[in-house]
């Protein structure tokens, strides 16, 4: 069984790792398709590794099997000997040749046994490639066969096994395929999509991924067959695709096409040296065009691999930064079809919401469609809950969102009745006390620069408020303290619900930053209970957690830790998945949680890396980063619960 571990994530996308007999694969990873005949490899895998750090490759076991000389060599020296590569090798099964040539001559059992014999690191079940033109009946019958073969393959192989997820264009079949494959697969391999890539049918690709994704076990790496164009990597990663494979770098090179994340450029039309990568600096692309056939093809393939690896690195960096949606939107501008695919993804918000992080460092608008990202859908959902909790306000008034207003907005009229203010934000009207929350607070959009708001004087603020206010309030008074109390109460209600917030709020005060006027922390007797981050969220300190815990309703915001791990968590060590006993289902990746032992005593405060439904799916890796703890020393007979892999996990905050 695979031991897959997630170390960082942005939504469904993750940075992960798993071991194979020939080394670790760090995901997301590009597995270039290489020809099994070393004499026909345009770039040998060892060169791929030394040039770009490519750790793993994929090749066709079927081509090896049906070519007597290759078969003999592989049976003798293993697939690693044949390819002259000692890193992880995944082998495909022949389904692609069935797609390309209409049939394969090998049986499912035989090709699996062959993959076992040649000691591949990841074997693939021989699936039936379902074309997008297949009827529901055909797709269903093929799927049944693929799944029977997968079940049999599992019994015939103990080592890593990839199970293709077919189902054609039918959401019900994709869903069944994903859930069934998850029973047997170490690697889940979404297939049958090459024609969708080739024909730029990204909207249908999005629908296929949306149908499959909820059934795919989150504890397994997901492979997408045919993702070779760097333009599509960010899009694929958004869905939690961990492994990309394609022969695109070579296929496009053969017809003189250069791959860029912004699209494809025919080399014969190139008159300017548009790429200055190390290789293109040696021989500019404009000169490559004139080289003799094989050298030209090789140089283009190398350029294509270089841009692909660069783009994988950008995707990985974006996952670390929490900017993958932004990258995907920028890439989607390469082609309207890809943009349509991304729009379709946004229509499937329910697929993304279970892993949608609580906040990110920034929200940068890339296009007018940026405001349909799942982050906004999540915020609106929570806003509905917040509003349900509220007594209907006496008065609602609209206000433009400007910091100058903050100390000037009255919280009640002269008769003492509360006034509720809604700010006009790029995401629509939002209660003024919540406007520092992600995604509203960090929202950086066109309007800010296109129609800049004039900086009003305090007097003009009062005048403007007086015009907007249809009620009688003291507009000249300094309302800063009253507003701070309103905001503190609002933020606590946002996190913990009305009951807990109203129990907590009377004893605390909010402190604002002198420089920015933003709420900085929430204190009791001068000690911070909550620190307000750049995302506007109030996050408990350890002291705050001790106050909060008795007031929480029904396990809200808590994670229960098993006895074996409790002393380590209390000493500040990360909480690993296998020691989580229970977790509040309302938490999300990035949420702050109170970590308690089985007797519900507080051990520490942490931030979730994984979503609640994901945690039980992982045998390895961190579930919660511990950010503050009871400061008990680590127990004497120190054992790091998860072995050396956990040492690679950086400390947080
Ligand atoms: N290569 C490209 N698409 C596919 C697919 O659907 N199945 C398999 N096994 N290999 C592929
Ligand atoms: Zn280049």
- pLDDT, mean of residues 321-334: 97
- pLDDT, mean of residues 34-58: 96
Q: What is the third-level CATH fold of 484-543? A: Nuclear Transport Factor 2; Chain: A, (3.10.450)
CA nearest ligand 1 atom 9, residue: 95
- Residue 339's pLDDT band (cuts 50, 70, 90): very high
Domain range list for the chain: 5-351, 484-543, 553-646
What is residue 482's predicted lDDT score, i.e. its pLDDT? 92
The C-alpha atoms of residue 640 and residue 649 are separated, in whole angstroms, by 13
Q: Ligand 1 centroid vs 155 CA: distance in angstroms?
A: 22
Asked if residue 424 lies in contact with residue 399, where contact means CB atoms within 8 angstroms, the answer is: yes
Q: What is the mean pLDDT of the chain?
A: 91
Atom of ligand 1 nearest to the CA of 129: 6
Q: What is the third-level CATH fold of 5-351? A: TIM Barrel (3.20.20)
Q: Which of 142, 191, 223 to mutate to test the pocket of ligand 1 (most atoms within 8 A of CB)?
A: 191
- pLDDT, mean of residues 311-332: 98
Q: Ligand 1 centroid vs 255 CA: distance in angstroms?
A: 22
The C-alpha atoms of residue 574 and residue 10 are separated, in whole angstroms, by 19
In angstroms, the Cα distances linking 166 to 191, 206, 471 are: 5, 14, 62
Examine the pLDDT at 51 and tell me if it is beyond 90. yes
Residues 6+ away with beta carbon under 8 Å from 386: 431, 434, 490, 493, 494
Question: 647 an active-site residue?
Answer: no
CA atoms within 13 A on the CB side of 595: 35
* Distance, C-alpha 418 to centroid of its chain: 41
Examine the pLDDT at 346 and tell me if it is beyond 60. yes
Asked if residue 597 lies in contact with residue 561, where contact means CB atoms within 8 angstroms, the answer is: yes
Q: Ligand 1 centroid vs 191 CA: distance in angstroms?
A: 5
The C-alpha atoms of residue 617 and residue 558 are separated, in whole angstroms, by 19
Tell which wins on pLDDT, 601 or 479. 601
Examine the pLDDT at 395 and tell me if it is beyond 60. no
The ligand minimizing its distance to the Cα of 299 is 2
Pick the closest to residue 432 from 389, 399, 457, 384 (CA basis). 399
* Tens-place pLDDT, residues 596-612: 999 999 999 999 999 99
What is residue 19's predicted lDDT score, i.e. its pLDDT? 98
Residues, CB-to-ion distance under 5 Å, ligand 2: 275, 277, 280, 303
Concatenated DSSP letters of 479-527: -HHHHHHHHHHHHHHHHHHHHHHHHHGGG-EEEE-TTT--EEEEEETTE
> Tokens at residue 369, please?
């469609």
Are both 5-351 and 484-543 of the same fold? no
- pLDDT, mean of residues 535-553: 95
> Tokens at residue 430, please?
């939002």
What is residue 646's predicted lDDT score, i.e. its pLDDT? 37
- Residue 280's pLDDT band (cuts 50, 70, 90): confident
* Tens-place pLDDT, residues 399-447: 666 666 677 788 888 888 888 888 888 898 888 899 999 999 999 998 8
Tell which wins on pLDDT, 466 or 98. 98
Examine the pLDDT at 214 and tell me if it is beyond 80. yes
The C-alpha atoms of residue 511 and residue 506 are separated, in whole angstroms, by 15
In angstroms, the Cα distances linking 90 to 30, 69, 382, 393 are: 12, 20, 43, 61
The C-alpha atoms of residue 200 and residue 205 are separated, in whole angstroms, by 9
What is residue 642's predicted lDDT score, i.e. its pLDDT? 45
Tell which wins on pLDDT, 331 or 270. 331
Examine the pLDDT at 394 and tell me if it is beyond 80. no
- pLDDT, mean of residues 559-581: 97
Greatest alpha-carbon pair distance for the chain in Å reads: 93
H or E, element range at 52: helix 45-52
Examine the pLDDT at 651 and tell me if it is beyond 60. no
- pLDDT, mean of residues 583-607: 97
Q: Ligand 2 centroid vs 301 CA: distance in angstroms?
A: 10
CATH class of 553-646: mainly beta
Examine the pLDDT at 638 and tell me if it is beyond 70. no
The C-alpha atoms of residue 329 and residue 325 are separated, in whole angstroms, by 6
* Distance, C-alpha 523 to centroid of its chain: 34
Asked if residue 430 lies in contact with residue 422, where contact means CB atoms within 8 angstroms, the answer is: yes
Examine the pLDDT at 277 and tell me if it is beyond 90. no
What is residue 647's predicted lDDT score, i.e. its pLDDT? 34
β-strands 519-524, 592-596 pairing: unpaired
Q: Ligand 2 centroid vs 61 CA: distance in angstroms?
A: 31
* Residue 405 DSSP symbol: G
Asked if residue 529 lies in contact with residue 497, where contact means CB atoms within 8 angstroms, the answer is: no
What is residue 239's predicted lDDT score, i.e. its pLDDT? 98
Gyration radius of the chain over CA positions: 28
Atom of ligand 1 nearest to the CA of 125: 9
- pLDDT, mean of residues 503-512: 94
What is residue 649's predicted lDDT score, i.e. its pLDDT? 36
The C-alpha atoms of residue 509 and residue 498 are separated, in whole angstroms, by 17
Q: Which of 127, 150, 165 to mutate to test the pocket of ligand 1 (most atoms within 8 A of CB)?
A: 127
Asked if residue 409 lies in contact with residue 397, where contact means CB atoms within 8 angstroms, the answer is: no
- Residue 650's pLDDT band (cuts 50, 70, 90): very low
What is residue 409's predicted lDDT score, i.e. its pLDDT? 81
Report residues whose beta carbon is within 6 angstroms of any ligand 1 atom: 92-93, 95-96, 124, 127, 129, 164, 191-192, 194, 225-226
Q: Ligand 1 centroid vs 555 CA: distance in angstroms?
A: 45
What is residue 463's predicted lDDT score, i.e. its pLDDT? 66
CA nearest ligand 1 atom 6, residue: 191
Asked if residue 321 lies in contact with residue 361, where contact means CB atoms within 8 angstroms, the answer is: yes
Q: Which of 61, 92, 143, 149 to mutate to test the pocket of ligand 1 (most atoms within 8 A of CB)?
A: 92
Asked if residue 299 lies in contact with residue 288, where contact means CB atoms within 8 angstroms, the answer is: yes
What is residue 364's predicted lDDT score, i.e. its pLDDT? 97
The C-alpha atoms of residue 562 and residue 542 are separated, in whole angstroms, by 20
**pTM of the full structure:** 0.93
Task: Catalytic residue, from 10, 37, 92, 450: name it.
Answer: 92
The C-alpha atoms of residue 425 and residue 402 are separated, in whole angstroms, by 10
The C-alpha atoms of residue 133 and residue 150 are separated, in whole angstroms, by 24
Tell me the H-state helices in 123-170: 136-156
What is residue 653's predicted lDDT score, i.e. its pLDDT? 35
> Tokens at residue 376, please?
């906004």
Tell me the H-state helices in 84-107: 95-101
Examine the pLDDT at 525 and tell me if it is beyond 90. yes
- pLDDT, mean of residues 555-566: 95
The ligand minimizing its distance to the Cα of 93 is 1
CA nearest ligand 1 atom 5, residue: 191
- pLDDT, mean of residues 639-649: 41
Atom of ligand 1 nearest to the CA of 166: 6
Q: Ligand 2 centroid vs 304 CA: distance in angstroms?
A: 7
Residue 270 CB neighbours (<10 A) = 17
Asked if residue 221 lies in contact with residue 302, where contact means CB atoms within 8 angstroms, the answer is: no
Asked if residue 346 lies in contact with residue 356, where contact means CB atoms within 8 angstroms, the answer is: no
In angstroms, the Cα distances linking 410 to 397, 417, 452 are: 11, 11, 25
* Residue 418 DSSP symbol: B
> Tokens at residue 125, please?
């079940």
Atom of ligand 1 nearest to the CA of 126: 9
Asked if residue 189 lies in contact with residue 159, where contact means CB atoms within 8 angstroms, the answer is: no
* Tens-place pLDDT, residues 84-134: 999 999 999 999 999 889 889 999 999 999 999 999 999 999 999 999 999
Examine the pLDDT at 630 and tell me if it is beyond 90. no
Token match 């690896």: residue? 309
* Distance, C-alpha 84 to centroid of its chain: 34
Atom of ligand 1 nearest to the CA of 93: 9
Most confident of 160-169, 393-402, 636-645: 160-169
What is residue 514's predicted lDDT score, i.e. its pLDDT? 83
């Amino acid at each position: 069984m695979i031991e897959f571990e997630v170390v960082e994530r942005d939504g469904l996308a993750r940075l992960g790792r798993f071991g194979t007999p020939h080394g670790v694969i760090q995901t997301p990873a590009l597995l270039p398709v290489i020809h099994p005949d070393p004499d026909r490899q345009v770039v040998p895998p060892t060169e791929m590794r030394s040039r770009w750090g490519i750790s793993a490759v994929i090749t066709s076991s079927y081509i090896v099997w049906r070519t007597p000389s290759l078969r003999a060599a592989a049976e003798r020296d293993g697939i690693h000997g044949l390819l002259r590569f000692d890193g992880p090798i995944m082998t495909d099964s022949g389904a692609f040749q069935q797609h390309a040539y209409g049939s394969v001559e090998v049986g499912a059992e035989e090709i699996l046994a062959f993959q076992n014999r040649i000691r591949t690191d990841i074997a693939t079940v021989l699936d039936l490639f379902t074309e997008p033109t297949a009827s529901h009946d055909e797709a269903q019958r093929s799927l049944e066969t693929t799944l029977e073969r997968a079940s049999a393959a599992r019994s015939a192989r103990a080592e890593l096994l990839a199970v293709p997820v077919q189902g054609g264009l039918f959401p019900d079949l994709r869903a069944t395929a994903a859930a069934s494959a998850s029973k047997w697969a170490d690697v889940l391999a979404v297939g049958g999509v090459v024609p969708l890539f080739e024909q730029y049918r990204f909207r249908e690709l999005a629908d296929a991924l949306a149908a499959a994704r909820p059934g795919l076990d989150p504890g397994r790496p997901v492979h997408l067959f045919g993702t070779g164009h760097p333009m599509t990597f960010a899009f694929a990663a958004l869905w939690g695709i961990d492994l990309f494979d394609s022969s695109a770098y070579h296929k496009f090179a053969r017809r003189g096409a250069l791959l860029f994340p912004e699209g494809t450029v025919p080399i014969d039309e190139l008159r300017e040296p548009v790429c200055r990568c190390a290789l293109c600096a040696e021989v500019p692309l404009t000169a490559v065009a004139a080289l003799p056939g094989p050298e030209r093809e090789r140089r283009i393939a190398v350029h294509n691999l270089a841009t692909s690896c660069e783009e994988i690195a950008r995707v990985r960096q974006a996952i670390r930064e929490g900017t993958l949606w932004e990258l995907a939107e920028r890439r989607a501008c390469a082609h309207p079809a890809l943009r349509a695919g991304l729009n379709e993804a946004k229509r499937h918000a329910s697929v993304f919401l279970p892993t949608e992080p609580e906040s990110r460092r920034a929200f940068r608008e890339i296009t007018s469609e940026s405001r349909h990202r799942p982050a906004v859908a999540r915020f609106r959902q929570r806003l509905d809950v917040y509003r349900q909790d509220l007594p209907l306000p006496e008065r609602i008034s609209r206000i433009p969102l400007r910091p100058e207003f903050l100390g000037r907005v009255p919280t009640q009229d002269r008769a003492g009745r509360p006034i509720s203010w809604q700010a006009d934000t790029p995401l629509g009207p939002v209660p003024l006390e919540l406007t520092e929350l992600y995604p509203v607070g960090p929202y950086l959009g066109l309007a800010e620069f296109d129609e800049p708001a004039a900086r009003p004087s305090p007097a003009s603020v009062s005048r403007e408020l007086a015009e907007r206010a249809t009620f009688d309030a003291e507009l000249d008074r300094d309302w800063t303290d009253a507003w701070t109390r309103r905001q503190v109460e609002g933020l606590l209600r946002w996190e913990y619900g009305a009951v807990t917030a109203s129990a907590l709020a009377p004893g605390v005060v909010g402190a604002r930053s002198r420089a920015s006027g933003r709420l900085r922390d929430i204190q009791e007797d001068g000690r911070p209970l909550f620190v307000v981050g750049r995302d506007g969220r109030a996050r408990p300190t350890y002291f705050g957690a001790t106050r909060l815990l008795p007031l929480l309703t029904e396990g809200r915001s808590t994670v229960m830790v098993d006895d074996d791990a409790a002393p380590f968590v209390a000493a500040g060590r990360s909480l690993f998945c296998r020691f989580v006993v229970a977790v509040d289902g309302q938490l999300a990746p990035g949420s702050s949680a109170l970590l308690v032992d089985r007797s519900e005593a507080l051990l520490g405060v942490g931030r979730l890396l994984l979503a609640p439904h994901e945690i039980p799916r992982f045998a390895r890796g961190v579930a919660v980063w511990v950010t503050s703890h009871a400061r008990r020393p680590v127990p004497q007979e120190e054992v790091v619960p998860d072995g050396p892999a956990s040492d690679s996990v950086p400390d947080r905050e």
